[in-house]
Structure 1
Amino acid sequence: LVTAHHRDDQVETILLRVLRGSAPAGLAGIAARGRGGLVRPLLPFSRAELVAHVAARGLAHHDDPANRDPRHLRSWVRHALLPLLLERLGPRAVGDVLRLGSHAAADRRAWDAALELLPELALHVEHGGFSVAREPLRRYDATVAVALVRAAARRAGLVVGPVRARRLLSLAKGRSGRRLPLGAEWVAEAAFDRLRVIRGDPAAPDPVAVSAERGDTRFGLFSVEWRPDPAPARVERGGWTTWLPAAEGWELRPPRAGDRLVPLGGVGRRPLRRLLMEARVPRGERTGYLVVARGETVLWVPGICRAAAEVPAPGTRAVRLDVIRDGEPENGRDGAEADRL
């Protein structure tokens, strides 16, 4: 996507943000490139230069009368405030405003780069949000922590002002499980040792009944593949690969109230909600977590626990399931293969 923002738009934007008390990141003005491939190639040129170019080549154009309506604040800046500044300060006023934006942009880039120089923050930009470690934020100077939170939010496409950033910092210092609505469907959560900011809670996916001998599908944050494969000598309790008997009738579904299972190699029935908590699954993700079940019997919770139910005997016909969770590495598939050798 290409837009026609020009240098005059940049000057007006910076002045508007000065009047609104924007923080330095906001004073950087309009970026030449945006998320999703957005580009603004005309920012180096003034409106007068572009008008002259269009006129010289006889190009068709449209003049929006709203651009001259002083009821709009941007129009007032363009036709009232800027002429006063030019009259008092001369042409250098435009250059001074653009330099302010350039300095602010450099400051923003510095904070963005600082994220890479602080491995203890463990920044993770995930689908629809980001997360950082809470402990470093508690230790940093508050001003530094606020700037880093704002820089992390920009990585996820979220603009967080100083006030909301301070609220996020307060959330990070509180107990795990607390949540903070940020507006526009964004939600922050203190999830164990991390501060997570996501755009809306993922809805629990509909159950998927599996009948084919082999296949693949998406289930919320998970990619699932299955295929015929003889059962190995040992099935792991944890991990992201397991085997089921070759019989049909199993399904992929979200957790249900009252779900319990007997862990492979364990004793006693464990509540699934407790297993999800112990595995540090954030509260906002628990309702959509993947469960493999047959009827009411939970067979596997990928990455967390294989149940003792329906473990196929070594060498018998079975179905192998491989699961990858978004944002995770390839979930140890090589390890699963090595287990069979």
Structure 2
Amino acid sequence: MNLIEKVKKTIRRYSLLEKGDRIVVGLSGGPDSMALLNVLWSLRDAYDLTLIPAHMNYGMRGKESEEDQGFCEQEAARYGLVLIYESVDLPALILDRGLSPQAAAREIRYDFFRRTAGAHDARRIALGHHADDQAETLLMRLLRGAGTRGLSGMPIRRAPGIIRPLLHVTREEILSYLASIRIPYREDSSNQKGIYLRNRIRRELIPLLVERYNPNLVEDLQRTAEILGEEEAFMQEEAEKRFSPMTIPGGVALDLSDLKGLSHAMVRRMVRMAMVQAGESSEITFRHVDSVLKLMEAEGSAARIDLPEGLKVRKSYERLEFSMENPKESPGDLYEIPVPGSKRIPELRIEVESRVLSLDETADSLLKSEAVLDLDKCSGPLGFRTRRPGDIFYPKGFGKKKKVKRFFIDEKIPYMERGRVPLLVNRENEILWIGGYRMDGRYAVDDKTRRALLIQIRRLNGKEHEETRRSPDIG
């Protein structure tokens, strides 16, 4: 079976494409992304596809990075396509956010792809990860002591709209395919650096295991990840059916009687879900979950343990309480949103969608999660952030300015939650909307409005938030 037939089989099996899809194609210039673009181009008539190649220039390799971008523009043009690209100062971002180079690149890349999809009304984002990438991911996580979720590797499809059509194809098959049709590609020199664990696994560990233990290692690991992924999804679905936390100030609580009789595996999963729902949990490990299980079994009616990121777990009679005693607030960073378009902001635990309305579409009454503003009054670009000292706004229907702090108090918003309320602001950093609560009356539509803007926010649940933060460990 040739590569295109193999990919078509994968697409059909997992329903990765629908007729008429608009697809953002991640294009780095490497062999995997070049093969992906060519395969999707060959399928464009069968599926009536619109392809939008997108390239992120990190500026990490100087002239080489600029050459990568130029190469991608040239190759996109060969298909009659226009490359969408963006350049960033990755070293500055690494210093600013305290992230590793790989984590910082991953964060801005996925954000760029989502913004590009929103701006071009694309339902899919296609990435070029292949079977060797999956094998490397599984081995890397195994060496770090991951559980079934981590060992599931990269899903072949993931919200919002991310697909990996080449995940069942090996690197060798990709290189052979490109050579057969004479498609050029670029080599990233950083892939040769031994300072990265993934590179060492690719260049040292996998060749050793293939040569001395299992010549079919890549295919077998890819299949193992797929099996674990299906079982993980089933277990998660079962846990969500049973998960019924109570809301408490600053967090959630589980009724211990609801956990009795459940397997250790199910209880462990529900404990982690409670941790995620209570607050930031990116530093939570199996060891921390296990300490909560021991707390449940401890004698006495009251006990407490402190976990990373300010998460507190208390056993109080027949309840297990999870709360953020000192909730970690966003430092007030501004997260710009596309207009129109959609964007996930995991730091604020929201997904935002914006849409320009005709005047006859403007609503008289809205959900709390929606706001309609006069677009010409808004002074973009727009973005979301959290509260800052001295914030004020003019609540619609109130007639005068009010401190955001006083508004939170009057609305009886729990102190633990105030640092997580998303605030929509304009270019001058003026508050247009306290998300989920009140608009600023100065930006409301009136009889002079020519263009209206609908902003909708959706809270990410624990699973979605963790999944967004858990972007694949892949370059």
TM-score (ref. length: structure 1): 0.50
Deviations 1:28-63 (A, max 9, x none): 111222343222221111011111222222223111
Q: 1:78 is matched by which residue type in structure 2?
A: R
Deviations 1:95-133 (A, max 9, x none): 43234323321332122111332153479xxxxxx9754
Which residue matches 1:4? 128
Note if contact 2:280-2:328 (Cα within 8 Å) is conserved in structure 1. Answer: no
1:287–1:13 Cα change, 3 Å: closer
Is residue 135 of structure 1 aligned with residue 255 of structure 2?
yes
Note if contact 1:112-1:152 (Cα within 8 Å) is conserved in structure 2. Answer: no
Structure number having the greater helix percentage: 2
Note if contact 1:115-1:121 (Cα within 8 Å) is conserved in structure 2. Answer: no
Is residue 33 of structure 1 aligned with residue 33 of structure 2?
no
Which residue matches 1:66? 190
**Matches of residues 271-286 of structure 1 in structure 2 within 5 Å?**
276=412, 282-285=414-417
Distance of 2:280 and 2:172 partners within structure 1: 33
Residue 22 of structure 1 aligns to a residue in which SS? coil
**Matches of residues 82-101 of structure 1 in structure 2 within 5 Å?**
82-101=206-225
Which residue matches 2:205? 81
1:282–1:168 Cα change, 3 Å: farther
**Matches of residues 1-341 of structure 1 in structure 2 within 5 Å?**
1-118=125-242, 120-121=244-245, 133-136=253-256, 139-140=259-260, 143-150=265-272, 160-166=284-290, 181-182=308-309, 188=311, 195=322, 200-201=328-329, 249=399, 254=404, 256=406, 276=412, 282-285=414-417
Distance of 2:398 and 2:211 partners within structure 1: 81
Residue 146 of structure 1 aligns to a residue in which SS? helix
- Give the number of equivalent residue pairs: 234
1:58–1:28 Cα change, 3 Å: same
1:116–1:38 Cα change, 3 Å: same
1:2–1:194 Cα change, 3 Å: farther
Which residue matches 2:33? none
Distance of 1:189 and 1:154 partners within structure 2: 12
> Following TM superposition, by how much is the alpha carbon of 1:90 offset from its aligned partner in structure 2, in angstroms?
3.4
Distance of 2:164 and 2:276 partners within structure 1: 19
> Following TM superposition, by how much is the alpha carbon of 1:157 offset from its aligned partner in structure 2, in angstroms?
10
1:152–1:94 Cα change, 3 Å: farther
Residue 163 of structure 2 aligns to a residue in which SS? coil
Deviations 1:217-264 (A, max 9, x none): 99xx87689xxxxxxxxxxxxxxxxxxxxx96466654549x9xxxxx
1:248–1:19 Cα change, 3 Å: closer
Residue 183 of structure 2 aligns to a residue in which SS? coil
Pairwise CA RMSD: 5.2
Distance of 2:280 and 2:171 partners within structure 1: 29
> Following TM superposition, by how much is the alpha carbon of 1:288 offset from its aligned partner in structure 2, in angstroms?
8.1
Q: Which runs of 5+ in 1 are unaligned?
A: 124-129, 205-214, 226-246, 260-271, 290-324, 328-341
Percent identity, please: 24
Distance of 1:112 and 1:282 partners within structure 2: 30
Distance of 1:216 and 1:255 partners within structure 2: 28
Q: Which runs of 5+ in 2 are unaligned?
A: 1-124, 333-362, 373-396, 422-456, 460-475
Note if contact 2:243-2:270 (Cα within 8 Å) is conserved in structure 1. Answer: no
> Following TM superposition, by how much is the alpha carbon of 1:77 offset from its aligned partner in structure 2, in angstroms?
1.6
Q: Is the deviation greater in 42-51 or in 136-145? A: 136-145
Q: 2:196 is matched by which residue type in structure 1?
A: H
Q: 1:135 is matched by which residue type in structure 2?
A: D
Note if contact 1:255-1:287 (Cα within 8 Å) is conserved in structure 2. Answer: no
1:10–1:283 Cα change, 3 Å: same
> Following TM superposition, by how much is the alpha carbon of 1:285 offset from its aligned partner in structure 2, in angstroms?
2.0
Distance of 1:167 and 1:66 partners within structure 2: 40
Distance of 2:225 and 2:276 partners within structure 1: 17
Note if contact 1:2-1:40 (Cα within 8 Å) is conserved in structure 2. Answer: yes
1:52–1:283 Cα change, 3 Å: same
**Structure of higher CA gyration radius:** 1
Distance of 1:157 and 1:32 partners within structure 2: 27
Residue 146 of structure 2 aligns to a residue in which SS? coil
